[in-house]
């Protein structure tokens, strides 16, 4: 069910802002959408009122790392907030920083509007969604980190429950189904998956899947 009511868009290109708003109003015409084009404005908004969804470009007029700072601030001020990074930057370091900052979705601007719509709908529905271009970037990053020699130390440190969750994530099972299978709440599974990714030194579900494949779990 859509729990999003209020949305903050931090974007300095009017055409992009218009596209985002059009998609949001297609999803729900009753959304309260507010738009800013500078980091300072966005920070004031996040400190002054509560939002359910943040959509931010990585770079704004007044700051090259604006989106990353906003995602971090949003999580600190409003732990339940959902966030999407929509940007032209698709290099591995920026993508990884965005995911680690807590972005629930990431899409690059050279992808289609249909792809942006998929990401926004998924995040509004409570899912995590990386666009295909972003997923490819993370796969390439993780592949560069693969150690070809035997079983990793990270694998040896995992519990049986953690190994089971890794296998299910790698098989692309929805988090709600994993929660039911593990007799845990969906929120507990999301938190557990995040902890597992940090423990084995990867980023997101893509990194977990690559780890599982490398170590013979799937």
Q: So what's the pLDDT on residue 154? A: 73
pLDDT in tens, 155-187: 778 888 898 899 899 888 889 889 988 888 988
Query: Helix H segments across the chain?
Result: 14-27, 39-48, 66-77, 92-101, 113-124, 132-145, 153-156, 160-170, 175-182, 186-200, 204-214
Q: So what's the pLDDT on residue 116? A: 94
168-171 LR contacts (CB < 8 Å, sep 24+):
169/193, 169/205, 169/208, 169/209, 169/212, 170/208, 170/209, 170/211, 170/212, 170/213, 170/217, 170/218, 171/218
Q: Are 134 and 95 in contact (CB under 8 A)?
A: yes
Q: Are 196 and 93 in contact (CB under 8 A)?
A: no
pLDDT in tens, 71-119: 999 999 999 999 999 999 888 888 888 888 889 999 999 989 999 999 9
Q: Which residue has the tokens 């359910």?
A: 52
CA 188/CA 120 separation, integer angstroms: 23
CA 148/CA 164 separation, integer angstroms: 23
The pLDDT of residue 216 is above 80: no
User: Where does the pLDDT of residue 145 fall: very low under 50, low under 70, confident under 90, or very high at 90 and above?
Assistant: low
| Between 115 and 140, residue with greater pLDDT | 115
Span between the terminal Cα atoms of the chain, in Å? 32
Domain ranges of the chain: 6-139, 148-214
Question: Is domain 148-214 given the CATH code 3.30.1380.10 in the classification?
Answer: no
pTM for this structure? 0.70
Q: So what's the pLDDT on residue 62? A: 79
CA 8/CA 106 separation, integer angstroms: 16
Fold of 6-139: Rossmann fold (3.40.50)
User: Where does the pLDDT of residue 28 fall: very low under 50, low under 70, confident under 90, or very high at 90 and above?
Assistant: very high
Q: So what's the pLDDT on residue 149? A: 47
| Between 62 and 57, residue with greater pLDDT | 57
Percent of the chain with pLDDT strictly greater than 90? 49
């Amino acid at each position: 069910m859509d729990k999003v009511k209020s949305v903050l868009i931090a974007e300095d290109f009017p055409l992009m802002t218009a596209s985002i708003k059009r998609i949001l109003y297609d999803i729900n015409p009753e959304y309260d959408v507010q738009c800013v084009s500078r980091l300072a404005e966005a920070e004031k908004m996040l400190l002054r009122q509560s939002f359910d969804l943040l959509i931010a470009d990585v770079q704004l007029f007044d700051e090259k790392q604006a989106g990353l700072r906003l995602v971090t601030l949003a999580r600190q001020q409003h732990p339940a907030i959902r966030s999407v990074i929509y940007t032209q930057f698709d290099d591995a370091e920026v993508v990884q920083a965005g995911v680690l900052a807590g972005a629930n979705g990431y899409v690059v601007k050279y992808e289609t509007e249909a792809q942006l719509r998929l990401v926004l709908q998924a995040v509004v529905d409570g899912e995590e969604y990386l666009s295909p271009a972003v997923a490819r970037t993370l796969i390439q990053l993780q592949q560069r980190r693969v150690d070809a020699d035997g079983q990793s130390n990270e694998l040896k440190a995992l519990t049986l429950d953690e190994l089971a969750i890794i296998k299910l994530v790698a098989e692309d099972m929805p988090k709600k189904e994993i929660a039911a299978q593990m007799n845990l709440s969906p929120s507990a599974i999301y938190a557990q998956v995040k902890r597992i990714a940090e423990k084995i030194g990867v980023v997101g579900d893509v990194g977990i899947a690559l780890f599982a494949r490398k170590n013979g779990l799937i």
